[in-house]
Amino acid sequence: MPTARKVGRISTPREAGRMPALREGGSAKLPARAEEPLAERKRRAERIIAELKKLYPQADCALHHGSALELLIATILSAQSTDETVNKVTPVLFERYPTAEALAEADPADVERIVHSTGFFRQKTKSIIGACKKIVEAFGGKVPDSMEALIQLPGVARKTANVVLGTWFRKDEGVVVDTHIGRLAHRLGLTWTSKNDKDAVKIEQDLMEVLPRDEWTYTGHALIWHGRRVCTARKPRCGACALSGLCPSAFTFEG
């Protein structure tokens, strides 16, 4: 079963020789989020992706999995939980229930006991068993590889479907929007129609318009890695961020 890859120490922009000219006391002067022309925003997005590839050339899904089914279940469990917690739970779950057929017939109480630490364990158990029953009954026991089919599964919406399609099937059908991607999309000015960083539908639509399609999956993974390591929710490390010269929000946070 593959494990999440580790990245080394992140160089600061000045160390890497990539710091664009900054206005005094802050970031490079960039247009406000809603004012930037789309063509310029697309060019800036490509530069952001290029920097992310220098920082995280191997960015990938942090959920441990060895099959489409394992990734699907792990993603369902990851809601309101951490990847670390999910990665501790799934080996036990998959050893006991290795197939969709086994999970479809699983005792809910037993599954609840195994996944309890991920939170919302009753609803997650219901979604897992329900999804596996649908996979067995409608898809011959195999996880489907289309958005239309995946969102028919109980507990599966666009975010989960995008994770499975992009990470396992290598199909860029949409952009995953989790808490990190929503936050960074707003700070980086890669969304302009969304109300806030929780407006996942509009954020995804904007990202799909501004990012090259063949970069949708990679950019999602890389933004999550960057959000965890540098652009954190409460105290982003703008002074150590290689994207600061491309970010309209850089150096605007107090404390």
The answer to whether the CB of 212 falls within 8 A of the CB of 46 is yes
Residue of 159, 172, 199, 206 marked active site:
159
Is there a contact between 172 and 217 (Cβ–Cβ < 8 Å)? yes
Rounded alpha-carbon distances, angstroms, from residue 97 to 8, 68, 82, 113, 121: 35, 14, 22, 13, 17
Q: CB count, 10 Å around CB of 9? A: 6
- Report how far apart, in Å, the C-alpha atoms of 218 and of each of 19, 53, 106, 142 are: 23, 9, 35, 25
Q: For residue 187, how far is the Cα from the chain centroid?
A: 16
- Which residue, 52, 86, 91, is CA-closest to 181? 52
Answer yes or no: 159 catalytic. yes
Q: Measured in Å, how far apart are the chain's first and last C-alpha atoms?
A: 41
Active site residue 178: yes
- 60, 83, 145, 178: which is the annotated catalytic residue? 178
The residues carrying an active-site annotation are: 159, 178
